[in-house]
Amino acid sequence: MKGFIQVLTTCCLFCIFTSSAYSQQRFRAGVILGVTASQIDGDNSAGYNKLGLQTGLRAVARLKGRTEASIEFLFTQRGSQSELIKDEFSNFFSLTTNYLEVPVQWHFKDWLIEGEEGEPDYYKVSFNGGFSYGRLLGTKVNDDLSAIRVIAPDYLKKNDFSFVLGANFFATRHLCLTLRYVRSIGYMYDPRDWNPAPAKSAWNSHCLYFQTAWMF
């Protein structure tokens, strides 16, 4: 966690410098705060029941026309949960996985809003797609089912590669609301990697991200 904080601090200083140094809006930077809703295929649960937190930084570079490229540095909580609200009469389990995540995306913008009183123009909506790398930092298990507790954390892969699809709505030039779908390309747990394997079913993670970003 100490290393993660150092990375975020360095990136934050870089983004602030970049944002102030290029006032012509070739580059922009911002901070992100959001909520995740996740599930894992293969762990005997269904539904995006696992809620988590997300925070980090975003840097955006303007390309040609209505296109942009972005990179983010995020602390993301994913995982799975048997139900959204714990029921004392059922077998409840919850798995929290903490990731350092770096999405790289391409954006297409639309709905131009003309700036007032010398403010730059901006686009109201944008659509994005790309790929994300995640590094597993740690796990937390609240489990009545032994298989989940055995698999996490010792059998989970440390590296995650995902594809990303999303849409953004700018309420103002600075305030951005984002909905994003993220799905792992491979398995976070693969029984073929272990002999003997603690569980027969492979695990694949997918998530919904609800982000609020303030762009400088």
Read off the pTM. 0.87
Residue with tokens 């913008």: 109
Higher pLDDT, 50 or 148: 50
Interval 62-97: pLDDT, tens = 999 899 999 999 999 999 998 887 777 677 889 999
Please report which confidence band the pLDDT of residue 49 belongs to, taking 50, 70 and 90 as the band edges: very high
Domains and CATH numbers, the chain: 2-215 (2.40.160)
CA separation for the pair 99, 122 (Å, rounded): 32
pLDDT reading at 11 higher than 60 = no
Residue closest to 95 by CA, chosen among 210, 203, 180, 208: 203
